[in-house]
Chains A and B, each alone.
Chain A
Amino acid sequence: MSSTVTTSNRGRYRAASDVGGTFTDLVYYRVDGGTGAGGAVHSVKTDTTPPDFETGVMASLEQAGISPADLDFFAHGSTLVINALTEKKGVKTALITTKGFRDVLEIARGNRPDLFNFNFRKPAPFVDRYLRAELDERVNHKGEVQTAVCLEPLPALLDFFKAEGVQAIAVCFLHSYINPENEMQAVARIKTLWPDVSVLASHDISREWREYERTSTTVLAAFVHPLAKKYIESLEQHLLAGGFTGKPYMMQSNGGIATTDAARSNPIAMVESGPASGIFAAASLGRDIGEENLIVLDIGGTTAKCALVENGEIRITTEYHIDRDRKNPGYPIQTPVTELVEIGNGGGSIAWIDAGNRLHVGPQSAGALPGPAAYGKGGARVTTTDANLVLGRIDPHGFVGGTVQPDWNAVKAAFKPLQDRLKLSREELARGIVRIANANMTNALRLVSTNKGYDPRDFTLVAFGGGGALHVLALAEELQVRRVIVPVNSAVFSAWGMLLTDLRRDYLQTCPMALEPGNAGSLANAFHTLADRAYKDYAAEGLSPDKHEVVFEHHADMRYRGQEHTVKILFPFAGGSADLALAAKRFHAAHEKLYTYRLGAELQVVNLHLVANVAVDKPGLPEKPQTGITPEAAILRVRTVDFDPHGIHEAAIYDGLRLEPGMTFDGPAVVQEASVSMVVPPDYSVTVDSYGNYHAGRTCEPPA
């Protein structure tokens, strides 16, 4: 296929590695050298090995028995960037701004989300004031250079930065999103004067307006740049030393993969790569099985993440923040990220009672260490996982993949003080914890669905992550979702997602203009400029335009005149010209869906958003073989399970790996895989699809 990135024929495996906080997952399958067909998907887990994460990655390949020389394709996702940011473990960074604006980074937006706390602490800037310098320069909002940048102070300034131990520099000038000339000159001179320093210009990181957000993004990118560069190079060297002949790909926050060159030049694009691949995988799975409208739920150890997929499209936003919650403004990162809502509710979330005797679950988490009480690693507080264990919803024999015997004494001890406070039995308390955890997650799911004008009943709920299968049917019932899918191997679904992804680059450009025929030419030109950038960037990474077809998607962030916030629409742009009438129609409809009304006001385009995809050549997903056994043959045992609020029942425990396509069985049941328990209450039935995924729904529709 000439239109795709063709990988070498010498290799025999496609593999993806996902470095998480605790474990490094490797998911892989063999590609038949003759037919090109893919084999069954396997996975291994090894310990994550900070700070040298590549050691864990190489260990996982070794454990899987794969030599890098046998790899056809290798994609990699890592929490390196987000961890370095949230733990503030990057390099000493300096900032250069337009004269008069070095304090923008510290002033930030001036907000105080913790409204009634008069002793509020604003998050500290990533660059101290003495390392924030200014240059005389000015571009106005029309992109006209009013004052050319004065580079004279640079040599002395860089000497000062050197003496202070600075390792990275961010440069952000006003209105550089529309005219980067001054920024380019400053960065070019810095590179000449100090070739070894990491220097990033804001226009290379974001082409959107809002100077604080763009400055923050550039500073955070610079802060992690040397680390990310070193890590990527080290990973490449390890793979090369092992005989890998290709180039690894890095998972990005936009749901696509990028070459290592691209990832090195803009590391901030990797910031939310973990959730992105899971959401992408769900969308891809949906397309394969004809379910294009999905609510995606990823329940991990400390958080649950929800996202919406409509018509097979993942939503991308650049209004992303780290460290933001109800009390903390966090730090904005203006980079394309899959739009999701994250709440502090996962398997490790701690149950606690406040002074008013109310039970809460999360957001504090027991994390990987000490972990839930049942892990027996010193965890003294009850977590959602412990409650699920007490209720028999997690199989004690298959706890943590059967590798750990639950520490019942620790569980009992952890429950005791809470029981004493509330005067409840252990089981009653456990039910309360699961119900509260479910309610928390339901509220989060509403934020991505009903809050955005969608009816969850029109969607299929896809759940994965360690806790997805445990909770999903209770959540579906609450939201009245009719169809539920739990993918096979749902605990490593995010890593699996990377095997399905293609190369993707997102180009956003702020260029405010009215949506009117007189501007059609400017719109087309702006899209063509972005397309040229895409061709140029891909060519710089060695992808030749004759061999690799770049497929574009056009989007625009639009608004009614007078509004500030925008709505993203798929922009009708074909054959080099825009269909403005259709764009208007789409915008009105999208606005009405989100905000319940439409206006007669003038329409404006604020940002153009071009997605440039290059498909990666890959075999179709292998179907799960059928041997003709009956579902009963897959039953491991029968166990008592509490299906609150559907009562306590003897439930069949099915071995997920032995279930075969076409099988159907009814609850009460639990589907057991290593590290996954899917709880199926009475009145629900499960069907296994041709890939081994579990589809669940009510046996009969509930009365209206």
Chain B
Amino acid sequence: MAVDRFTSGIIQDALQAVGDEMFEALRRTSMSPIIYEALDYAVGATDAQGNLLAQGNGVTAFLGSLDSAVRGALEHYDGGAGLHPGDIILTNSPYRGGGTHLPDVVTILPVFHDGRIVAFTVNKAHWTEIGGMDTGSLTTRSTEIFQEGLHFRFLKLYEAGHLNTSLVELIRENVRLPDDTLGDMHAGVAAARVGARRLESLIGKYGLDTVLAAMEELLDYGERMTRLELLKLPEGVYTAEDVIEEDGLGNGPFTIKVAVTLKDGCCIADFTGTAAQAPGPVNCSYAGLLTGVRCVFKAVTNPDIPANGGAFRPLEIICPPRTLLTAESPAPVSLYFESLIAAIDVVWKALAPVAPNHLPAGHKRTVGSTFISGRHPDTGELYIMGEPLLGGWGAACDADGINGMFCCGNGETFNIPVELTEARYGLQVDQYAFHTQPGGEGKFRGGKGVVLDYRVTGEEAFLTVAFSRTRSRPWGLQGGREGSLNYAEVLRTDGKVERHSVATALALGKNETARLYSASGGGFGDPAERPADDVHNDLKNGYVTPEQAVRYYPQAGGHEPT
């Protein structure tokens, strides 16, 4: 049926608002800092077929997860025949339906009207603990999925409104922080219910047919807007190749390769030639690849177009099975996000030369996952500090890169305030600052990476880090120099310094320090073209050292101005 255009627009805006409401509900109710501070989650709604209608993200890297999870659930439950009002489904299976790694748990609620499914509300959030071989359920040393934690494949947490207490008790006994984990579980349910209530009230107000028609128009609108943007980019085939250094077990490097074809308002990303799946947990399954390509696809079209299924109709992804980006059971996937980001980065690298207004030079390209666990010296209780590390972004065609920001796979991700870290964990932070390592010189300078020191105040603690871009560097554009590297140092009390990039549960003693360095981004344009005034300004602000100025920017006169 035809809906008048204003009503349809208003319903479409209301669907977006449903996403906002669910987002807020999940943030506020969660028990895990990784959700409420790092906002490592996404919420959304789909139509009855699993087409994404609206999504509210805390991080970019869940963009392919929600709709594919719903489609997976439909498939699992006989096209929906096995679903009933009051059901709520949990899934985290990496190999089917929107899963990525086991801590990212999807909650799905079918919305019924007059006995049939009319929509789904869905969210995906990173639970702090899901069990498995290492504290925090993130590991760099797994060889099979079975070591990585509890695996739910489309289980009913609620069946016709009744809580599945056996499932709850199973979770409680298999995770290290059951209160937090069950809190996260409740938060997902609360958010899905908030969204369902609003959808029901929209249907109550406008009528089912009108709302369904508006949903369809929303998808068409997304497609129309996206194709218009695609047509602004030059047609052609653009290729790029890069590496992921290691898989956690000492294997690597692994090649990631793409050929992007832009033609007739369509985009095809072909990853043929990418390395086979790795023995270690750096593998990414198809949902992760889908997410990654969708992210950069949105970045080069128009980030403002609402993220919905229609907007992704012009996108096609090709990748053979069982590669690093299409891993299958029982491949370990705990560190999947590093490959996902590398997939974003390689498409970005391919398209940056033809989309300079959308894409700057290469950035630090790692989440910089850092976990430190131990016993709090004041209370003796177990703590797990988990935080991504922010770093430098690449220079743009008209501006220096951003100093100190989370990677492209993150987004509305917040660092943990030092004052909270110190109160909550047995750690003291001794510095949190931009470092002055060389890298990223150019007409426009790459953004600065940071150095962050965690000193252990308890008797002992265990450090887990999983970085990439540890030997390869963020790429420059048009003559701009490469950025610097991501790595961690352990400063022992005997004065020894160890360097690490991927490690699990390294033991640290009292007063030993985990010092984290994040990369500075790549530069844009020949450093010789940087105006001397800008170099003087960098020297004054300490973004560039006098030695670096002499070496890379001789035009500035070779000495620090007074």
Q: Is the CB of B450 within 8 A of A112?
A: no
B450: which A residues are within 8 A, CB to CB?
103, 107
Q: Is the CB of B6 within 8 A of A601?
A: no
B25: which A residues are within 8 A, CB to CB?
451, 595-596
What is the 8 Å Cβ interface bit string for chain B, positions 407-420, against chain A (1 contact, 0 not)? 01011111101111
Interface size range on B against A: 35 or more
What is the 8 Å Cβ interface bit string for chain A, positions 91-113, against chain B (1 contact, 0 not)? 00000000111111011111111
Pick the contact of B418 from A174, A354, A432 — CB < 8 Å?
A174
A110: which B residues are within 8 A, CB to CB?
390, 404-406, 413-415
A174: which B residues are within 8 A, CB to CB?
418-419
Contact of A111 with B402 at beta-carbon distance under 8 Å, contacts A116-B307, A355-B225, A443-B13 already known: no
What is the 8 Å Cβ interface bit string for chain B, positions 352-378, against chain A (1 contact, 0 not)? 000001111000000000000000001
> Complex: how many Å from CA A562 to CA B36?
11
Pick the contact of B29 from A175, A356, A596 — CB < 8 Å?
A596
What is the 8 Å Cβ interface bit string for chain B, positions 26-50, against chain A (1 contact, 0 not)? 0111111100110100000000000
Chain A residues touching B, majority SS: loop
A-B contact list, 18 entries, CB within 8 Å: A100-B433, A103-B404, A106-B434, A108-B404, A110-B415, A111-B414, A112-B411, A113-B411, A115-B59, A115-B60, A119-B299, A140-B422, A209-B419, A210-B417, A354-B225, A355-B228, A356-B225, A596-B193
The reply to whether the CB of A585 lies closer than 8 angstroms to some CB of chain B is no
Q: Is the CB of A130 within 8 A of B542?
A: yes
What is the 8 Å Cβ interface bit string for chain B, positions 289-325, against chain A (1 contact, 0 not)? 0000001101100010001000000000000000000
The reply to whether the CB of A435 lies closer than 8 angstroms to some CB of chain B is yes
Pick the contact of A562 from B24, B183, B542 — CB < 8 Å?
B183
Closest to B298 in A: A116
The list of the 3 closest CB pairs from A to B, nearest first, reads A100-B431, A110-B390, A116-B303
Closest to A117 in B: B303
Of the stretches A7-15, A121-129, A230-238, A270-278, the one at the interface is: A121-129
Contact of A118 with B358 at beta-carbon distance under 8 Å, contacts A129-B543, A562-B31 already known: yes
User: In angstroms, how far is the closest chain B Cβ from the Cβ of A59?
Assistant: 43
What is the 8 Å Cβ interface bit string for chain B, positions 9-28, against chain A (1 contact, 0 not)? 11001100100110011011
A356: which B residues are within 8 A, CB to CB?
221, 224-225, 228
A700: which B residues are within 8 A, CB to CB?
none
Contact of A211 with B6 at beta-carbon distance under 8 Å, contacts A100-B433, A101-B432, A128-B541 already known: no
Pick the contact of B396 from A119, A122, A560, A596 — CB < 8 Å?
A119
Contact of A120 with B402 at beta-carbon distance under 8 Å, contacts A103-B432, A113-B411, A562-B179 already known: yes
The reply to whether the CB of A2 lies closer than 8 angstroms to some CB of chain B is no
Q: Is the CB of B432 within 8 A of A451?
A: no
Contact of A115 with B303 at beta-carbon distance under 8 Å, contacts A101-B418, A211-B417 already known: yes
Given contacts A118-B296, A599-B186, 13 further A-B pairs with CB under 8 A are A100-B430, A100-B431, A107-B434, A111-B406, A115-B57, A117-B299, A119-B357, A121-B402, A122-B405, A130-B541, A436-B10, A451-B20, A596-B29
The reply to whether the CB of B127 lies closer than 8 angstroms to some CB of chain A is no
A637: which B residues are within 8 A, CB to CB?
none
> Complex: how many Å from CA A113 to CA B412?
5
> Complex: how many Å from CA A594 to CA B29?
9
Contact of A101 with B431 at beta-carbon distance under 8 Å, contacts A210-B417, A446-B17, A594-B28 already known: yes
> Complex: how many Å from CA A296 to CA B221?
35
B221: which A residues are within 8 A, CB to CB?
356, 358
The reply to whether the CB of A114 lies closer than 8 angstroms to some CB of chain B is yes
The reply to whether the CB of B403 lies closer than 8 angstroms to some CB of chain A is yes
Q: Is the CB of A595 within 8 A of B28?
A: yes
A-B contact count (CB 8 A): 201
> Complex: how many Å from CA A212 to CA B24?
22
The reply to whether the CB of B5 lies closer than 8 angstroms to some CB of chain A is yes
Q: Is the CB of B31 within 8 A of A560?
A: yes
> Complex: how many Å from CA A599 to CA B187?
12
Q: Is the CB of A439 within 8 A of B414?
A: no
The reply to whether the CB of B532 lies closer than 8 angstroms to some CB of chain A is no
Q: Is the CB of A599 within 8 A of B404?
A: no
The reply to whether the CB of B423 lies closer than 8 angstroms to some CB of chain A is yes
Interface centre among B357, B378, B417 (most CB of A within 10 A): B417
The reply to whether the CB of B399 lies closer than 8 angstroms to some CB of chain A is yes
Closest to A128 in B: B541
The reply to whether the CB of B249 lies closer than 8 angstroms to some CB of chain A is no
> Complex: how many Å from CA A128 to CA B30?
37
Q: Is the CB of B357 within 8 A of A112?
A: no
Contact of A118 with B432 at beta-carbon distance under 8 Å, contacts A175-B419, A358-B9 already known: no
Pick the contact of A209 from B198, B403, B417, B543 — CB < 8 Å?
B417
Contact of A440 with B296 at beta-carbon distance under 8 Å, contacts A109-B415, A597-B186 already known: no
Contact of A447 with B408 at beta-carbon distance under 8 Å, contacts A118-B359, A210-B417, A596-B29 already known: no
Closest to A142 in B: B378
Q: Is the CB of A432 within 8 A of B6?
A: yes
Residues of A within 8 A of B (CB): 99-104, 106-122, 128-130, 140-142, 174-175, 177, 209-213, 354-356, 358-359, 422, 431-432, 435-436, 439-440, 443, 446-447, 450-451, 512, 560-565, 594-597, 599, 601
Q: Is the CB of A447 within 8 A of B417?
A: no
The reply to whether the CB of B348 lies closer than 8 angstroms to some CB of chain A is yes
Q: Is the CB of B303 within 8 A of A112?
A: no
Contact of A112 with B406 at beta-carbon distance under 8 Å, contacts A130-B541, A356-B221, A447-B20 already known: yes
User: In angstroms, how far is the closest chain B Cβ from the Cβ of A438?
Assistant: 9
Residues of B within 8 A of A (CB): 5-6, 9-10, 13-14, 17, 20-21, 24-25, 27-33, 36-37, 39, 57, 59-60, 63, 179-180, 183, 186, 190, 193-194, 198, 221, 224-225, 228, 295-296, 298-299, 303, 307, 348, 357-360, 378, 390, 396, 399, 402-406, 408, 410-415, 417-420, 422-423, 428-434, 450, 453, 540-543
Closest to A122 in B: B402
Q: Is the CB of A129 within 8 A of B28?
A: no
Q: Is the CB of A115 within 8 A of B412?
A: yes
Q: Is the CB of A563 within 8 A of B31?
A: yes
Contact of A104 with B432 at beta-carbon distance under 8 Å, contacts A112-B405, A141-B422 already known: yes
> Complex: how many Å from CA A209 to CA B39?
20
> Complex: how many Å from CA A344 to CA B226?
25
A450: which B residues are within 8 A, CB to CB?
21, 198
Q: Is the CB of A103 within 8 A of B434?
A: yes
Q: Is the CB of A107 within 8 A of B541?
A: no
Q: Is the CB of B419 within 8 A of A435?
A: no
B404: which A residues are within 8 A, CB to CB?
103, 106-108, 110
Closest to A451 in B: B21
User: In angstroms, how far is the closest chain B Cβ from the Cβ of A655?
Assistant: 33
> Complex: how many Å from CA A103 to CA B405?
12
A99: which B residues are within 8 A, CB to CB?
431
Q: Is the CB of B296 within 8 A of A111?
A: no
A212: which B residues are within 8 A, CB to CB?
417
> Complex: how many Å from CA A266 to CA B45?
45
Pick the contact of B423 from A432, A512, A563 — CB < 8 Å?
A512
Interface centre among B406, B411, B429 (most CB of A within 10 A): B411
Q: Is the CB of B541 within 8 A of A129?
A: yes
Contact of A115 with B411 at beta-carbon distance under 8 Å, contacts A110-B405, A354-B225, A358-B221 already known: yes
Q: Is the CB of B10 within 8 A of A435?
A: yes
Q: Is the CB of A118 within 8 A of B433?
A: no
B17: which A residues are within 8 A, CB to CB?
443, 446
A358: which B residues are within 8 A, CB to CB?
5, 9, 221
> Complex: how many Å from CA A347 to CA B194?
32
User: In angstroms, how far is the closest chain B Cβ from the Cβ of A658?
Assistant: 37
Q: Is the CB of B413 within 8 A of A111?
A: yes
A443: which B residues are within 8 A, CB to CB?
13-14, 17
> Complex: how many Å from CA A560 to CA B183?
10
User: In angstroms, how far is the closest chain A Cβ from the Cβ of B132?
Assistant: 20
User: In angstroms, how far is the closest chain A Cβ from the Cβ of B532?
Assistant: 17
Interface centre among B9, B358, B406 (most CB of A within 10 A): B9
A209: which B residues are within 8 A, CB to CB?
417, 419-420, 423
> Complex: how many Å from CA A106 to CA B402?
10
